[in-house]
Amino acid sequence: MTEQVYYEDIEVGSEIPALVKYPTTMQLVKFAGASGDYYQIHYDKDFAIANGLPGIIVHGWLALSFLGQMVTDWLGQEGTLLKLSGSYRGMNNVHEDVICNGKVTRKYEEDGKNLARVEFWAENPAGEKTVTGNAVVSLPSR
């Protein structure tokens, strides 16, 4: 595990460690089973193409799960995720990297808590932002 991040360690503009995931068709099938989302565009290539898609595409919720992992990995055991939002703007194709990045855009105290807002995004290998969103977290103080 990485070292615990503290409120005093961050400032607006601080980047959080990136995460790169490589979803396979098998992973999408597992996610379909685990989430109950059996829409065929996520595992049936013929169906996806007949629906005007380039091929099998990654569930939006799965891409958001990668972003969620990036944030909770960074938060460590003592940080708490309060809000997570994602907007699905483009497609992540199966068998392509999903590149997750994020940075702190606000740092503030509210109701005795040390809070930070993180803007994040996922990109495909073409450099297109496929998911954009943000998280609100509370961090421990030193």
Partner 1 sequence: MNEELVISEELEGLVNVEFGPDVYEIETGMVRKFAEAIEDPNPAWQEVTPPTFPAALVPTSLLHRLFNAKTSLKRLLNGTSDLEYRQPIKIGDTISVMGRLTRMRQVAGQDGPTLFMFTEVTWTNQRGEVAVKGKNTYVKY
What six digits make up the tokens of 62? Answer: 């799965």
Identify the residue among 7, 31, 43, 121 touching partner 1 (CB under 8 A). Answer: 31
3 by Cβ neighbours in 10 Å (0-12 / 13-18 / 19+) ranks as exposed
Of 81-89, 92-100, 102-110, 121-129, the window that binds partner 1 (rule: CB under 8 A) is 81-89
Distance CA 14, CA 105 (A): 8
Q: How far is the CB of 88 from partner 1 (least distance, A)?
A: 5
Per the CB < 8 A criterion, the answer to whether 73 and 128 are in contact is no
Backbone angles phi, psi at 118, to 5 degrees: -115, 125
Q: How far is the CB of 140 from partner 1 (least distance, A)?
A: 15
Per rule CB under 8 A, is residue 84 in the interface with partner 1? yes
- Give the interface with partner 1 as residue ranges (CB under 8 A): 21, 27, 30-31, 33-37, 39, 51-52, 59-62, 64-66, 68-69, 71-73, 77, 80-88
